[in-house]
Structure 1
Amino acid sequence: MSAGTVPGKSSRPSRKEQILEIALELFATRGYHGVGMDDIGTAAGVTGPALYHHFAGKEAMLSAALIPVSEGLRDGGRARLDAHTEPADQLAALVEFHVAFALERPAVIRIHFGELDRLPDESRRIVRKSQREYVEQWVDVLTRLQPGLDADTARVRAQAAFGLMNSTPFLRSQLPREQVAGVLRDMVHRALRG
């Protein structure tokens, strides 16, 4: 799956997406400041200067990775909500969607945790706005599922659930992927329902 995609979208990545994926893996393992354009070029099999045909620089790569992912989560969440009418089904679909994302995109999660402040201000604003909208989708479902639950408490529960799901870059499990997904889904449902 390419950097700018979320679960459910499959297509052959373009050369630009391939380069971005390589850059993300390098950023995730060595840190943003530990990677230069020449490093990315070498890993991608192109000269550092040739990368500038695709990206203006490392900040542009980071923006090209994190903005579409944040927007994709928001839009993917909305699609799952629209596909179901009952809050319990909507919540199950959101959990399934995010767990799949977290298992497929641990490098993006790691970069988000450690490098979000490296984004230019406008890119960071776009990412944060998409994230807030995504969180509010979860809050809406939780408050409809549990009518006595206030929005602030639902927001804390949603954020805690994201912490569980987004722990994937730090898991050192030998369990099969689907078993890890099942554990995460079960824990998230328990956490969200209190």
Structure 2
Amino acid sequence: MSATSDTPEVEAANAPRPPTRRTQAKAARRAELLTAAARQMAERGFSGVRLEDIGRAVGISGPAMYRHFSSKSELLDEMLVDISQRLHDGGVEVVGRGAPPAETLLALIGFHIDVLVTKPDLIVVQDRDLSSTSPEANHRVRSLQRRYVERWVDVLIAVSEQDGRALDRAEARVRVHAMFGLLNSSPRLPEYDEAELRRLLTAMALAALRCEA
């Protein structure tokens, strides 16, 4: 062991402590509040929801809400940064598998559709109420979104090169943004069988990305 290495005792002392039951309970309640907020804001918009309304949905009094969030704006900030981070990290993970470009593109589409189907309220709120976030959160969300888009652009260009079409970056980016517009409208679509919806959205996304001019 080198002179600068920590002893096992020091390493053990510096190791992160497991969360207490109280910490776990608080985190679970916070997640419950974020879910309730997303549902209400998707229905009525950010301006149409009060912090007290969100607390009431999960059995928390108005004053007690401030133990979890200092304001409705803080709640919105956390909600939209979290979903943006989740999308970005998921895209990084899919691309990092190192599969062939066409397979990676299909996996990216599948991943994005999974989020749309399982978190539709968050997608609606992100699309409609991003302008209501704080400047710091807005900057963070837009940065994550840009980086997520560029992952798709890289993959789409690689697919086009294999297909012998070699899209330039500007056109690839337009196609990706247009495809997101198509997919992200799905929470507002009429009710439809989930398996069929996934199949239909996948086919439409592929058609939008790889359309022939």
In structure 1, what residue type is equivalent to 2:173? Answer: R
**Between the two proteins, what is the percent identity of the paired residues?**
38
Distance 1:92 1:23 in 2: 32
Structure 2 counterpart of 1:69, one-letter code: I
Match of 1:164 in 2: 182
Residue number in structure 2 paired with 1:29: 43
**Secondary structure class of the residue paired with 1:14:** helix
Which string of whole-angstrom CA distances, capped at 9 and with x for unpartnered residues, describes residues 169-192 of structure 1?
Answer: 21113x310110100001101111
Please say if 1:142 is aligned against 2:151: no
Structure-2 residue corresponding to 1:47: 61
Q: 2:113 is matched with which residue: 99, 108, 127?
A: 99
Larger-gyration structure (1/2): 2
Provide the aligned C-alpha RMSD in A.
1.3
1:49-93 Cα distance to aligned partner (Å, 9 max, x none): 111111111111101111011011111001001113311111011
How does the TM-score come out when normalised to structure 2?
A: 0.82
Residue 179 of structure 1 aligns with an amino acid whose one-letter code is E
Secondary structure of the residue aligned to 1:45 is coil
SS at match of 2:69: coil
The aligned amino acid for 1:98 is H
Tell me what 1:82 maps to. Answer: 96
1:180 aligns with one of 197, 204, 211? 197
* Residue equivalent to 2:11: none
The residue type paired with residue 153 of structure 2 is V
Structure 2 gap segments, 5+ residues each = 1-24
Equivalent-residue separation in structure 2 for 1:103 and 1:84 (angstroms): 25
- Between the aligned partners of 2:72 and 2:135, the Cα distance in structure 1 is 14
Give the corresponding residue for 2:126: 112
Q: Distance in 1 between matches of 2:97 and 2:169?
A: 23
Q: What is the distance in 2 between the residues matched to 1:113 and 1:99? A: 15
Runs (4+) of structure 1 exceeding 6 A deviation are none
Partner secondary structure for residue 138 of structure 1: helix
Mapped partners of 1:24, 1:61: distance in 2: 10
Amino acid at match of 2:115: F
Give structure 1 stretches of 5+ with no counterpart: 1-11
- Output the CA distance in 2 between the equivalents of 1:193 and 1:168: 20
